[in-house]
Structure 1
Amino acid sequence: MKMECKCHGVSGSCEVHMCWKVIPPFGKVGNPRKSSQGKVRGATEVHPKQVSSRKLLVPKSSRFKPYVAHDCPDFCDRDPWHGVFGTSGRQCNRTSLAMDGCELLCCSRGFHTAQAEVVEWCSCNFRWCCSTKCKQYWHLMEVHSCR
Structure 2
Amino acid sequence: SGSCTSKVCWNTMPKLEELGRIVFAKYQEAKFMTYSRRRRRLRPNHDQSSPKKPSNTDLIFLAESVDYCEPSKKHGSIGTHGRLCNKTSMRENGCPFLCCGRGYQTMVRTSKGNCNCR
* TM-score, normalisation: structure 2: 0.46
* TM-score, normalisation: structure 1: 0.38
Tell which structure's C-alpha radius of gyration is larger. Answer: 1
